[in-house]
Amino acid sequence: MDAGLLSKVNLSPVPGAAQFPDSLPRRCADVLCHPSMIGLAFALYLAHTLFVVRKAETMYLFRKPSVLLLAVTALLPCGTAARAQQDADVTVIIKAKSKPTTLPTLLVLCDLACNWKLDGEVKGQIEAGGSAKVKVEPGQHMVEATTEDGIDGVKQPSTVQPTGQTMVTIELQPVRDFRLIAQQELRDEGAQARAAKEQAERDLAVRQERERLERERIARDEAAGAWTDSATGLMWTKKDNGDENVTIEKQARQYDLTWQQAADYCRNLRQGGHSDWRLPTIEELHGIESSSGEGHPGHCCEMYHETLNEWRVKGNLQLTGEEWSSTPGPGSKDARYFGFFIMPRAESENRNVHTWKRALCVRPSEN
């Protein structure tokens, strides 16, 4: 192809490409294939038809132009073919100058052995700490990776640049660690819940056993005419040696006891199958004083025998007077006693005094 034709298509000659010879037939073909020449040929053909062919006598004179017209018409396909070949040569040259397009690379790295996909398409496996490369179109892509067991997975979008290599790092180990920690926490919570349930069941069993033992103890106490103080574990006789139904002073005096008589009464008492009864200490008597209003109604003493009093004593014990203790008083012949009515108090008295003094016996509990 000549330099003039290349200048028309804004191309320079390609080094090493075949050059077309600048020949006369080629130039003639270019002239004949020009649109103006084609128009002129058709104009001559029409003039020949309208004016020349009708005159037979002068036909001979115009045979040569007719032959020329036929020759031009015959050369038109040749010119067109040459032009087509010329355009094809230009296309070949343009294609020869174009360079092939190179797609960018996507590099995928995975910290664990995984199976991976690109935009939903399965791409294969990657070894732990390995990588995989793939040619992709520039733009947004979605990279998915799952562990070989299919339990843990990651979806990670990535923007691929038009040139060069884009790297995507898939981290499956943190996902797996988080799942394992969560599962361990669930197991721990389950174990704690089971342990709490088992402990609650044990506590309930212990409480039920205690309640059963308490009912049995109360039944034994009732049968023995006694009451057991759960705070101290001491068993007390349900009543003292008096009779609460006797409120007349003269009749009640028969139950008065000296200290020695009270001590002998408890030592010789056989009640509820027990023979180890004794007089309580002053501290033990003070320990069954009721401070919460708990008590038992009754009468006591000469000045109060017409008045309804309340014995401020636990266990609903039935008392009829002031109770001797085994604790000595300040004098060598004195002993201390405790009064549970009106205002509970501890006092000392001569051991031989027996006015409204009673004996309330105590013993160690069986439990």
Please state which of the ranges 31-40, 236-245, 251-260, 315-324 shows the lowest mean pLDDT. 31-40
Closest CA to 90 of 15, 35, 12: 12
What distance in Å separates the CA atoms of residue 74 and residue 72, rounded to the nearest whole number? 5
Please state which of the ranges 41-45, 175-179, 212-216, 265-269 shows the lowest mean pLDDT. 41-45
Q: What is the pTM of this model?
A: 0.48
- Per residue in 335-346, pLDDT (tens digit) is 999 998 877 889
How high is the pLDDT of residue 348? 94
Closest CA to 107 of 80, 141, 69: 141
Measured N-to-C along each axis, helices 63-97 and 35-47 cross at an angle, to the nearest 10 degrees, of 160
The beta strands (E) that lie in the chain are given as 105-110, 114-118, 121-126, 131-135, 139-147, 153-160, 165-170, 226-228, 234-237, 296-298, 309-311, 322-328, 334-339, 345-350, 357-358, 362-364
How high is the pLDDT of residue 305? 47
How high is the pLDDT of residue 183? 93
Q: How many CB atoms lie within 10 A of CB 28?
A: 14
Residue 185 in this model has a pLDDT that exceeds 50:
yes
- Per residue in 30-62, pLDDT (tens digit) is 655 566 666 676 667 666 666 555 554 444 444
Confidence of residue 87 (pLDDT cuts 50, 70, 90): low
How high is the pLDDT of residue 337? 96
Residue 356 in this model has a pLDDT that exceeds 70:
yes
What distance in Å separates the CA atoms of residue 145 and residue 160, rounded to the nearest whole number? 18
The answer as to CATH 2.60.40.1120 being correct for domain 105-171 is yes
Query: Could you write out the DSSP letters of every residue in 269-291?
Result: --BTTB---BPPPHHHHHHTB-S
Average pLDDT over residues 283-312: 75
Confidence of residue 301 (pLDDT cuts 50, 70, 90): confident
What distance in Å separates the CA atoms of residue 82 and residue 292, rounded to the nearest whole number? 130
Average pLDDT over residues 13-18: 46
What distance in Å separates the CA atoms of residue 24 and residue 30, rounded to the nearest whole number? 10
How high is the pLDDT of residue 222? 85
Please state which of the ranges 130-134, 147-151, 222-226, 290-294 shows the lowest mean pLDDT. 290-294
And the tokens for 142? 């979605």
Measured N-to-C along each axis, helices 24-32 and 63-97 cross at an angle, to the nearest 10 degrees, of 100
Q: How many CB atoms lie within 10 A of CB 250?
A: 7
What distance in Å separates the CA atoms of residue 361 and residue 220, rounded to the nearest whole number? 17
